[in-house]
């Protein structure tokens, strides 16, 4: 006689772990489902053993991977490299986690030395100074827009890794990525490129010698300000090292954030095209305003890296970030401007569908000493505008009102 299962056991097991029934039609969901399981099992232990040993593909434990996250990684790899490139990706809990994973992987069994661009996101500079240097990694900073200085630094320091941004934060400098890539390859030093500001719609760093490409998924790829994440893409032996290291440190992105990022990416090219077009018109308008001392935008013919921009950027797109200096402004004046915004969101991020303004001295580069900020050209009258998909005339009207507040 079959023993009746108690309600307590039924509450734990009923409905879960369904197998396909004989003669059951196989269905395919139109979007990738959210897989929330922390662990997985198979019909026999031998299969699980082979999955653990990476002999066959499969899931075993949530820290190692997740079907939803796997789908996101496949998608971003295809965006940056194409579907048959032999590359792969690791989705991480934040963009900074992705930078950490890329640097840690690149330096594995290589010289513990980094040549880094002097123009980088403030948190990246902080990570180099507060995490990698105390761990014994020598970090050397150089202007990546100075080809001769970069070549000399690489020759002198023989780095284990080279780190840069395609468009620098927040002054929007554009190094000669193709020439940087050639220098990195000649030195057998893996080039790590943060492509968050540009996105693969504007430039694909793997085509110019990068070995690692990093994104903050939070920004343009997801694009809606509703998820936090990062991703690093690489190939070959470094991909195996990256995945092995990830199993230990556990920076893996969770399934809910992976789902939101994947959903956002479906409209990423449409959003980015609109944002780039809006940004160009806004930069041109700002350049005519007497309250504005200087505008930073890659499409500006007076941009110091205009030859690199023309050679490297595709499709007439120049990114959707615009930075500008308010004439004669101090911190109080900048606060007054930002408090006067009515549509543009004065918040700490970028790449969302809505326009956002940030004060670098207070936010992205807050932890950088004022004298160091000044040496980098980040002055107290500088603001950074992430242009959204709103009607461009409405964004300009909001800026106009704020500039006269």
Which residues are catalytically annotated?
Answer: 63, 121, 194, 219
Beta strands 138-142 and 113-117 are parallel
Task: Give me the torsion for CA of 220, 176, 92, 251, rounded to 10°.
Answer: -150
For residue 326, give both structure tokens: 């308010």
For residue 268, give both structure tokens: 């990423």
Q: Calculate the alpha carbon distances from 360 to 222, 252, 339 in Å.
A: 23, 29, 16
């Amino acid at each position: 006689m079959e023993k009746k299962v108690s309600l307590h056991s039924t509450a734990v097991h009923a409905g879960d772990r369904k197998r396909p029934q004989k003669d059951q039609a196989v269905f395919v969901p139109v979007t990738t489902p959210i897989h929330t399981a922390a662990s997985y099992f198979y019909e026999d232990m031998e299969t699980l053993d082979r999955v653990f040993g990476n002999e066959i593909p499969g899931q075993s434990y949530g820290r190692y991977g997740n079907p939803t996250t796997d789908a996101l990684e496949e998608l971003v790899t295809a965006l940056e490299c194409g579907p048959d490139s032999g590359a792969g990706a690791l989705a991480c809990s934040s963009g900074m986690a992705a930078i950490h994973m890329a640097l840690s992987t690149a330096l594995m069994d290589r010289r513990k030395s980094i040549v880094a661009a002097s123009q980088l996101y403030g948190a990246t500079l902080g990570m180099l100074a507060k995490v990698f240097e105390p761990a014994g990694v020598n970090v050397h900073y150089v202007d990546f827009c100075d080809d001769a200085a970069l070549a000399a630094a690489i020759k002198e320091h023989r780095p284990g890794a080279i780190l840069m941004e395609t468009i620098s934060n927040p002054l929007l400098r554009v190094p000669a990525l193709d020439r940087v890539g050639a220098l990195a390859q000649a030195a057998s030093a893996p080039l790590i490129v943060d492509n968050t500001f540009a996105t693969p719609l504007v430039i694909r760093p793997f085509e110019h010698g990068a070995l690692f490409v990093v994104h903050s998924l939070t920004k343009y790829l997801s694009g809606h300000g509703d998820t936090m994440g990062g991703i690093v893409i690489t190939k070959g032996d470094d991909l195996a090292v990256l995945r092995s290291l990830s199993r230990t440190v556990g920076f893996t992105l969770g399934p809910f954030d992976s789902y939101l990022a994947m959903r956002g990416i479906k409209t990423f090219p449409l959003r980015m095209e609109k944002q780039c077009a809006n940004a160009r018109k806004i930069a041109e308008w700002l350049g005519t305003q007497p309250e504005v001392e200087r505008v930073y935008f890659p499409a500006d013919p007076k941009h110091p890296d205009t030859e690199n921009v023309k050679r490297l950027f595709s499709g007439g797109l120049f990114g959707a970030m615009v930075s500008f200096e308010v004439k004669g402004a101090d911190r109080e004046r900048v606060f007054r401007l930002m408090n006067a915004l009515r549509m543009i969101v004065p918040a700490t991020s970028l790449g969302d569908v809505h326009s956002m303004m940030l004060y670098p001295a207070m936010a992205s580069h807050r932890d950088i000493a004022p004298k160091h900020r000044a040496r980098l050209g980040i002055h107290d009258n500088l603001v950074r505008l992430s242009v959204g998909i709103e009607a461009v005339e409405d964004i300009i009207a909001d800026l106009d009102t704020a500039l006269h507040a």
